[in-house]
Amino acid sequence: MTLTPLMAREAAETPDAIRRQIDRCTPLFQDLGDRLRRLAPRFVVTGARGSSDHAATYGKYLIETRLGLPVASIGPSVVSLYQTPLQLKDSLYVTVSQSGRSPDLLRLTEAAKAGGALTVAFVNDETSPLFQLVDVAIPLCAGPEKSVAATKSYLTSLFAFLQMVAYWKADPLLVSTLAQAPEWMERAVALDWYPGLSHLTAARGLYIIGRGLGAAAAQEMALKCKETSRLQADAFSAAEVIHGPLALVGPDFPVLALTQDDVTLPPTIAAIRRMVAMGGTVLSTATDVPGVVPLPTVPGVPVELAPLAATLSFYMGIHRVATDRGLNPDVPPNLAKVTETV
């Protein structure tokens, strides 16, 4: 009997983790939303690494498109190595971390606080120094995560950004989306992406494209392809991939193309059609485009949840690609669960 890897079992816990975050943290996000409306920050900065930085990309697009505020990612080494003081008066600083222990993120957060920012952290480990350091600490509520590849902690990080924006904007529609999220995620767990993802087993590499809110999903999937399956994967915007990178696309170099039902859909579809016409193997959530290898999606999923749902469905299939390639997705070579950088 084949045992389901820990990575997949933990990913499947995402709906319950989101329920925990709603139950426990809604008052914290409501208070934070009230505080942010009073503060009216002029801009937002983020600090994170790895999957957490991908979550910050989702937060960037969400804040910029729903609140109209610019968001910039600060490289932790600006402070930890270059020792540059930060001028962040009238700003919001958000850091995301599963462990809350990496020295460079702690130094960056200290500098953001000293520079005048309101500091907020989304952290899974509530005993961590980062949780104690910030002005507002909000637990991810993902629970223990033992597989090296982060899954539910990544998705609860995205959901934390969605909660923050919903209550900051005081948007009834977004708040309603929050309440429905666990059910949407349960539907995403049940989808089978393996028939499509199995085309990656013999690939020498691939591109993963997404745009807008979907950019974070493309980044995260590319990392997981490397992490679990030793597949060289690069994430691109659908607007960028049609330039020089398109030259690599071919039968042994497929494309995984993500879509969501918003203004990014028509140009992304146009890019997908172009790649199919070139003879490339294109796996896509745009299942109605002739010639693509379909990746099923949850019908009617809200735009804000579409990247979460797609990533969760991907998690439930990519571990099988790793196994097909003779790898253990729970214990990637050369990697550790907690990475501490300076």
Q: What CATH number does the domain containing 222 carry? A: 3.40.50.10490
Whether residues 281 and 159 share a domain: the answer is no
Domain finish residue from 125, 153, 186: 186
Domain finish residue from 121, 153, 186: 186
Whether residues 174 and 75 share a domain: the answer is yes
Q: Residues 315-337: what's their mean pLDDT?
A: 83
Whether residues 26 and 82 share a domain: the answer is yes
pTM of structure: 0.94
Supply the pLDDT for residue 248. 66
Whether residue 338 is contained in a domain is answered as no
Whether residues 151 and 32 share a domain: the answer is yes
Whether residue 336 is contained in a domain is answered as no
Average pLDDT score, the chain? 93
Whether residue 334 is contained in a domain is answered as no
The region of weakest confidence among 8-12, 286-290, 320-324, 330-334 is 330-334
Range of the domain at 318: 191-324
Other beta carbons within 10 angstroms of residue 179's beta carbon come to 10
CA distances from 65 to 61, 191, 212, 304 (A): 6, 29, 9, 11
Whether residue 305 is contained in a domain is answered as yes
Whether residues 181 and 237 share a domain: the answer is no
The percent of residues in the chain predicted with pLDDT above 70, rounded, is 94
Whether residues 200 and 149 share a domain: the answer is no
Q: Please tell me whether residue 268 adopts helix, strand or coil conformation.
A: helix
d(CA 42, CA 283): 40
Structural domains of the chain, count: 2
Domain finish residue from 144, 164, 186: 186
Whether residues 92 and 170 share a domain: the answer is yes
Whether residues 98 and 20 share a domain: the answer is yes
Supply the pLDDT for residue 44. 98
Whether residues 154 and 264 share a domain: the answer is no
pLDDT at residue 145 above 50?
yes
Whether residues 100 and 182 share a domain: the answer is yes
Whether residues 27 and 59 share a domain: the answer is yes
Whether residue 42 is contained in a domain is answered as yes
